[in-house]
Structure 1
Amino acid sequence: MHRPPTVEAQVAAELAETRPGLLAGYAAELPGARAAVLTRLWRALAHEPLPWVTRRARGVSGLGLRLADGRTLHGPHADPYATDAYVTLVHLDGVPYDDPARLMTDLAVPHAADFAAELGHSAASLALSRAGRPEHPKEWPEQDWEWEQRVVDGHPFHPNCRSRPGFSVAEQLAYGPEHGPVVELATVPVPREECLVTGAWPADGGRLLIPVHPWQAAHVLKVRGAGVRAAHPLMSLRTLALPDGPHVKTALSTRLTSSVRDISEYSIGASAILSSFAEDLAARTDGLLHVTRTLGAVTAHSPDLAAVLRESPAQYAAPGEHVLPVAALATTDLPDSPAWLAGFTRLALTVGLRLLELGVALEAHGQNLLVVLSATGDPLRLVYRDLADIRISPARLTRHGITPPDLTGRLVTDDENTLRRKLFGSLVAGALAGTAGSGIALRGALEAAVGDLPRTPDLTALCTDPLPAKALTLMRLSPGTPGDQWFALPHPLRWDPVLEHDTSDQ
């Protein structure tokens, strides 16, 4: 039977036409890219509550999984906080697999075929990203967008860390931040009466000028914009740094990692209220946190044609200081120092828990959360951007004498479990774990930091309750289940890879 070409082969064929000089580098990067995606997938298989994994047994030789159909899957012990690509091979009923897409295809569980295609995109795009990244000087960059473009591998724990289906090779090279491109960002004029707008927004007479990503213009809107401006893409790809400083978030109606990157009317309508509220709340952190202000937001009553204009985080760095996304810390040597990692962990938890106590749970993952460093690399304070998915507790705010913002909908909840999951899952299981790079390093940083923090019920829950994390693979394999799904990771304060020999049933 004739098999269609793999995604890896398709990318190679497009490279031969588009950028033949990258072919050798792409081929050389493929094994490492497969291992990076396989490592992330193995973490999910080892820890997420997948209904077709019936038993997990840990022994001297590694981890064994019993599947519902009687097959067995064997691989190394799975550090839930590791970011290095340490899984190069797993065995399904004795057959070796080094390709995550082929493994998922042969697992043949419900919805495996679609997920396998995404895994194939992820590995191939990651190899392309690594092959095409520009050489970075040893000196730290001066521009905020330069820090963003150093993050090549994407999400540290999601198997779809670099999945970009719908993007050709030429489009990945032209728009992917890790390739260092300059993107020509056009605007589409829309009559003011057909728009919802908050804050100040550029206009041409009676028409508002909505910035549109060129991919969106070509593939979704089928329009040609005007007034092209050169902009630098940031980590999220659809957010770009404008030449005069501000950042603009555009709609990008395709699935990157897990989510379709459009912009809801709800978030546009709430943006001004949220920005003002967050600015006031940040003032209660004794200067340890700044929140980038939303300057304006607009939608043509369509998630496919909308934009948000925000301050650059660079606004909050003094001369000689650097501000960078937490995800970019892994491109420096700073996290290699246990003392530095403990200090950064102490700062991040101080701010996150303080805001949670007041009544706001940040989604403080490595993209939304930024750190201001001194000229010598000391963590000084934090900057937070993108308020679209925080959680707000009116009851907690009221308890502290703070008037809740005039908002309803998904952002508002008093459920303690929801609030803690939002912060702990993004900050500890996300940003801090990704910075630490291993369970041992994360445990050491937490042990050094938590003793200095105020004793609150939230801190107690963080130290004693199971640590929540999004079940990223389960969510991709459950397309009919809306919203986030969660699971409990082995707690970093109690997890020890040397002693991990227990078995568990599901």
Structure 2
Amino acid sequence: MDGLLLDNHTRDPHAALAEEAALGALLRCWLREVAIPGGHVRAAGPHLTLRVAGTPVRVRVHGGIALRFDGPPEHLAEGRWRPLGLSPLVALVEQELDGGLDGGNEEFAAQVRAGREAVAAILAARARAVPPADPWLASEQALVAGHPFHPAPKARSGDDWPDYAPETHARFAPRLLGVRADLVAQEGDTAALDTFGNAPDGYVPLPAHPWQLGLLAAELRGPFADGRLVDLGPGPRAVVPTSSVRTVYDPGTGMCLKFSLDVRITNCVRKNAWYELRGAVELTRRLAPVFERLARRFPGTRWLPEPGYRSAALGTRLLEGLGVIVRTGPWAVCGPGTTPVLAGALAAGADGVPEAVLARRTADPVAWWGAYVERVAFPVLDAFFRHGVVLEAHVQNVLVGFDAAGWPVEAVFRDLEGTKLVTGRHDLTGVPGGVAAPLSYDAARGWNRVAYCLFVNHLAEVAATTAGTADGVLRALWAVARESLERYVADHAAGLDALAPLTRVLAGAPLPAKANLGVRWARAADRAAGYVPVPNPLRVDAEGERR
């Protein structure tokens, strides 16, 4: 049998879907980061043919820069196009990347396979589980395949993850710890944490993620033994994990808790660094007046403040590992009759998206999209150009509020870890240097992050799903997006300095796309990820045709 045929396990329906998702993610990464920039792609009718380690691979693609695939990938062998499986594709990718970097990456294949197996396990678990009745939480738990441009989007370490995964519709009670009062590290409003139970005299309650406690077991033995920490057992109520895995929603208070997890999810180990704990509170103070002004200019703009954190002052490892950031929940900020929906669910398809939204998007995609772009893009651009604030508006950091008829009427921005202040635009006097430096980006780096998250990660993915396989509709959506952005410049940005980056985008300059394959292959930190240029769907050629 040909070595590049599909893996045998794909006869199982869950495994087959997982294989398809993993193949698609790795091929999209290869196309975006290697084949297209290297000029190794040829269009032939409805197909693109690319080369991986000298082997021709053929795919059918729609969705513009979102690179959605129609049907399975094939490779050319003995003069015939044959189905291509994940393991052989990984081997080809490794063979070619090994030639470009010394030492290779012995973890890579295992991570890609682990991602595939995780998706299969998620699908099996979802078939048995009951989704949450809360429509917002249903959208948070809908991202089964994960990041479409990451080589191993669902790879997670350990065996316990299904018990805490949003995609499996998990719910769990946090473990309640008591921290000796003289060792409490906290800042801001942490009242939501006190509702998880009473601690003994001389102690302060600290909810903890059960998975994280297992990961920190060795480091916690001493503090438990000598009384610096006490284990008070399971908390009084269950919380619900959201799309980031480590951030949970507490129905009891309506707040969210962002735990640390010493687990690699996509490119990052998801712990709350000490400067991120303090930075969240600092940014909440500074951004409150910014979002007030954004909401006046663009009604429907919302955000989720992070007013406080709590941890234990037991050395950096445990300070970070036990740190919990309190975040406002979306139902507290959305207007009456408005339902928040995770943008990632809108990009992924229909799962977790309210019926009214699906019906409206299908019935009038162009008008729906026009309203969507204004709600999401205008405040992001204004935050950058007018206020010197970089909002990380990718599809997991934006909730879109819909009215009862399915129209987008609000945009809710969250997760201050990725929010940055443009250097030179803000006075950080008095903020400790170790906190201030990670809060800041220079203007060029900030714009790359804004442009990637907003245009490539967010709008391109939602547009591709809205258009489906209809290329004519996709072109119409991008025409509307361009008109909206031009209206933003005319109505809101006239007279603002430093608009040149947006002007270049409207002139058709390539957009920056994050190079997740490259950073994962190099085993580098996520902050080391570079960008590759991708075609700009807003571009109009000399004859007025959209590219």
Same fold (TM over 0.5): yes
Q: Does 1:278 align with 2:287?
A: yes
For 1:388 and 1:114, locate their aligned partners in 2 and report how far apart those are by CA, in whole Å: 27
For 1:7 and 1:77, locate their aligned partners in 2 and report how far apart those are by CA, in whole Å: 21
Mapped contact 2:65–2:534 kept (Cα < 8 A): no
3-state SS in 1 of match to 2:400: strand
Aligned to 1:424: 451
Aligned to 1:99: 85
Once the two structures are superposed, what CA deviation does each residue of 1:156-209 show, in whole Å capped at 9, x if it has no partner? 3323222223235xx41x222122222121122233443431113337344333
Distance 1:7 1:78, change over 3 A: closer
Q: Does 1:196 align with 2:182?
A: no
Q: Does 1:239 align with 2:247?
A: yes
Aligned to 1:296: 308
Aligned to 1:41: 26
Q: Which of these residues, 321, 336, 345, is aligned with residue 328 of structure 1?
A: 345
3-state SS in 2 of match to 1:272: helix
* Identical positions, percent: 24
Q: Which of these residues, 56, 71, 74, is aligned with residue 57 of structure 2?
A: 74
Once the two structures are superposed, what CA deviation does each residue of 1:399-455 show, in whole Å capped at 9, x if it has no partner? xxxx88946212213x33211111111111112122122695263442342232124
Aligned to 1:268: 277
Higher fraction of helix: 2
3-state SS in 1 of match to 2:174: strand
Query: How is 1:27-426 mapped onto 2 (pairs within 5 angstroms)?
Result: 27-49=12-34, 55-60=39-44, 62-66=47-51, 71-76=54-59, 78=61, 81-82=65-66, 84-86=68-70, 88-91=72-75, 96=82, 98-107=84-93, 108=95, 109-110=97-98, 111-133=104-126, 142=134, 144-168=136-160, 171-172=161-162, 174-201=163-190, 202=194, 204=199, 205-221=201-217, 226-228=233-235, 229-244=237-252, 245-285=254-294, 286=296, 287-300=299-312, 301-302=316-317, 303-329=320-346, 330-331=349-350, 332=353, 333=358, 334-336=360-362, 337-357=365-385, 358-396=387-425, 406=431, 408-413=436-441, 415-426=442-453
Mapped contact 1:290–1:316 kept (Cα < 8 A): yes
Aligned to 1:461: 504
Mapped contact 1:394–1:404 kept (Cα < 8 A): no
* Aligned amino acid, residue 180 of structure 1: H
Aligned to 1:21: none
Q: Which sections of structure 2, spanning at least 5 residues, go unmatched?
A: 1-5, 99-103, 221-230, 494-498, 542-546
Deviation of the 1:227 alpha carbon: 4.2
For 1:225 and 1:367, locate their aligned partners in 2 and report how far apart those are by CA, in whole Å: 33
* Aligned amino acid, residue 326 of structure 2: L
Mapped contact 1:56–1:63 kept (Cα < 8 A): no
Mapped contact 1:8–1:124 kept (Cα < 8 A): no
For 2:459 and 2:38, locate their aligned partners in 1 and report how far apart those are by CA, in whole Å: 30
For 2:514 and 2:396, locate their aligned partners in 1 and report how far apart those are by CA, in whole Å: 16
Mapped contact 2:61–2:70 kept (Cα < 8 A): no
Deviation of the 1:141 alpha carbon: 5.1
Once the two structures are superposed, what CA deviation does each residue of 1:138-160 show, in whole Å capped at 9, x if it has no partner? 9x954532331233332233232
For 1:144 and 1:54, locate their aligned partners in 2 and report how far apart those are by CA, in whole Å: 41
Deviation of the 1:37 alpha carbon: 1.9
After superposition, the CA RMSD in angstroms is 3.3
Aligned to 2:224: none
Mapped contact 1:278–1:291 kept (Cα < 8 A): no
Mapped contact 1:34–1:100 kept (Cα < 8 A): yes
How many residue pairs match? The answer is: 465
* Aligned amino acid, residue 503 of structure 2: T
* Aligned amino acid, residue 200 of structure 1: D
Aligned to 1:20: none
Mapped contact 2:456–2:513 kept (Cα < 8 A): yes
TM-score, reference length from structure 1? 0.82
3-state SS in 2 of match to 1:383: strand
Deviation of the 1:289 alpha carbon: 1.8
Mapped contact 1:292–1:383 kept (Cα < 8 A): yes
